[in-house]
Amino acid sequence: MDYDDLIQTRYSVRSYSDRPVEQYKLSKILEAGRIAPTAGNRQPQRIVIIKSQDAHTKIKQCTPCHFNAPLVLLVCYDKSVENNNHYGDKRPYGQVDASIVMTHMMLEAHNLELGTVWVGLFNPDLLRDLFCIPAHYEILGLMPIGYPYPDAKPGKMHSEKFPIKHTVWYDSFVGEKQLE
């Protein structure tokens, strides 16, 4: 798929068929996450693959946003290896890194004609307990993956985007005025 088509046609899928995701496609999605850039190349992402019926039952206890996907990735980052900015502010970058990883995987899934949705609505304490997530791992999100149900379509707000002038301006206008 052409990159412009890829980024313009990807949407959050909230209705999945029961068709299983092929292992080779899962491998390609995980590889897309593995090669994603991370600060200082620290690669703090940690991903739990939810495939078994028992694991799906547990996930459904933690979020109302499972959407009956045949596969779910639980994306975390290891706070003990995340990079800190060396230029004074010392902000940790694990959340940023894991977000980049998740985005790469979502785009690869769409490229493979699979649907995904980024789920941030979950009970982190219950997830941590049910999946034995170590204390030094921060849970970023869940990513249901699967073949979209035949009538799946983008949500009604999918195309509601601000004009570019609302979110971008040139440095010469900073502190003066935004683009008109």
Average the pLDDT over 32-40 and give the result.
Answer: 95
- Specify the pTM: 0.90
Q: What is the pLDDT of residue 71?
A: 97
pLDDT more than 70, % of the chain: 92
Map out the domains of the chain with their CATH numbers: 3-152 (3.40.109.10)
pLDDT digits (tens, 9 = 90+) for 51-85: 999 999 999 999 999 999 999 999 999 999 887 76
Rounded CA gap, 137 and 94, in Å?
Answer: 10
Q: What is the pLDDT of residue 89?
A: 67
Average the pLDDT over 160-172 and give the result.
Answer: 82
pLDDT digits (tens, 9 = 90+) for 90-137: 778 899 999 999 999 999 999 999 999 999 999 999 999 999 999 999
pLDDT more than 90, % of the chain: 73
Reduce the DSSP state of residue 134 to 3 states and report it.
Answer: coil
How distant, in Å, are the alpha carbons of 22, 45, 72, 110 from that of 129?
29, 19, 17, 31
Average the pLDDT over 153-169 and give the result.
Answer: 84
> 125 or 161: which carries more pLDDT confidence?
125
